[in-house]
Amino acid sequence: MVKLSVNINKIATLRNARGGNTPDLLKMASDIQSYGADGITIHPRPDERHITYDDAKELPKVVYKEFNIEGNPIDKFVNLVCKIRPTQVTLVPDGVDAITSNSGWDTIKNKSFLKDVVSEFKKNEIRTSLFVDPNLKFIEAAKETGVDRIELYTESYATNFEKGNLQELNNYIESSLLANKLQLGINAGHDLNLQNIHYFTSNMPFLDEVSIGHAIISESLYLGIENVVNLYLQKMN
């Protein structure tokens, strides 16, 4: 069974837009797990525009399944993760002002740096994962950093799926087969949604986990708003 980790960044974005504590991030994290999700993912950024560092410190009180923290391993991030000691840390090479993650690591160019960072997390008994494109040479180099898993960046799959080009999945299958041969766990995420998730998970060998956030929150609006509008009408009349 492939595990589902729900990224709750967008819930924090909605809360921050109005101020106050609605929606309640901690309660949402707890409820999402009770609905069956296998874990919670957050991606705190330096400007704290959605998940704040205080959120990250409070969430262990309610996350009783897997807790995954993503981010660029700047010093502030490394210190935060080592203090919290989540189940997993996923290293992502996003810029300080990036709207969202848009590329995987060049694990050849950054091998020495990543090796040092991974070693620090391993000392704290935190499972480590690297965000990578479905590129075999980068997966091979990822193994040399000492990392436990890779997370395949799935934007290319999602874009091609929407165009009807299902052959793009072959790059991901080949990447997963190599990662498994190298004894690396395989995660995946970015732009996976209700339309493309079944084809992906049913055809990907050795897939451990997917992380999905934006699509889940967007789809929840569509699938839930009719019910909420009618509840308001019932209470008003």
**Predicted pLDDT of residue 228:** 92
Contact 161, 168 (CB under 8 A): yes
60-105 pLDDT, tens digit each = 999 999 999 999 999 999 999 999 999 999 999 986 555 555 679 9
- DSSP lists the bridge partners of residue 42 as 69
**Predicted pLDDT of residue 102:** 66
DSSP state of 147: -
Report, as an integer, the average pLDDT of 23-48: 96
**Predicted pLDDT of residue 95:** 65
Distance from C-alpha of 205 to C-alpha of 189, rounded to nearest angstrom: 15
Question: Which residues are within 8 A (CB) of 84 and not within 5 positions of it... i.e. 6 or more apart?
Answer: 56, 57, 60, 67, 69
**Predicted pLDDT of residue 101:** 58
146-186 pLDDT, tens digit each = 999 999 999 999 999 999 999 999 999 999 999 999 999 99
Kindly list the domain boundaries of the chain, sorted by start residue: 3-236
Question: What tokens does 144 get?
Answer: 């040399």
Catalytic residue numbers, as ranges: 43, 70, 190
**Predicted pLDDT of residue 58:** 98
**Predicted pLDDT of residue 103:** 75
**Predicted pLDDT of residue 94:** 80
**Predicted pLDDT of residue 210:** 98
**Predicted pLDDT of residue 98:** 55
Contact 116, 96 (CB under 8 A): no
Domain covering 3-236: architecture: Alpha-Beta Barrel (3.20)
Mean pLDDT of all residues belonging to the chain:
95
The rounded percent of the chain whose pLDDT value lies above 90 is: 95
